[in-house]
């Protein structure tokens, strides 16, 4: 079963945000980042989750244990509902992505256990800000 770690980094709240996904399978380690837009930190976590599932699907991952340091995301996925209407669209899109997987589990982990995804999200944000500061 693949392991998927994801995280988001935001400069300001709201502000420019970058998501990172680290996917570990038996055969490879996939690391990618993406610019998420100017959004708040909680929305960025949802967008990074969606990005991670899209990336896993592109790499034909069909069984996965997803690790997140967002208790909000784990709670929403376990209860199969989201309270905040701002996150509803992401939640519904993620539910659609779930159909691409035979098994998909979402588990909360402490921030210190999500260091690699956090590192790549922070690094991606730094690169984005550096590149766009010159304009």
What pLDDT score does 97 carry? 87
Tens digits of residue pLDDT in 35-49:
999 999 999 999 999
What pLDDT score does 65 carry? 98
User: Residue 88's domain spans which residues?
Assistant: 2-133
Tens digits of residue pLDDT in 89-119:
999 999 998 998 999 999 999 999 999 999 9
Number of domains into which the chain is organized = 1
* Helix axes 41-58 and 85-98, enclosed angle (nearest 10): 10
Peptide bond into 94 cis (omega under 30): no
pLDDT band at 133 (very low <50, low <70, confident <90, very high): confident
- Give me the CATH number covering residue 53: 3.30.420.10
Give me the count of residues in the chain.
Answer: 135
């Amino acid at each position: 079963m693949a392991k998927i770690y994801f995280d988001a980094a935001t400069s300001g709240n709201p502000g420019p945000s970058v998501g990172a996904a680290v996917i570990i399978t038996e055969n490879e380690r996939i690391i990618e980042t993406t610019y998420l837009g100017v959004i708040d930190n909680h929305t960025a976590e949802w967008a990074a989750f969606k990005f991670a599932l899209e990336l896993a699907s592109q790499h034909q991952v069909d069984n996965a244990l997803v690790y997140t340091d967002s208790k909000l995301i784990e709670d929403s996925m376990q209860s199969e509902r989201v309270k905040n209407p701002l996150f509803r669209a992401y939640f519904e899109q993620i539910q659609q992505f779930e159909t691409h997987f035979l098994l998909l589990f979402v588990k909360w982990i402490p921030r210190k256990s999500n260091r690699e995804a956090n590192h790549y999200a922070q690094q991606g944000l730094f690169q984005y800000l550096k590149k766009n500061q010159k304009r």
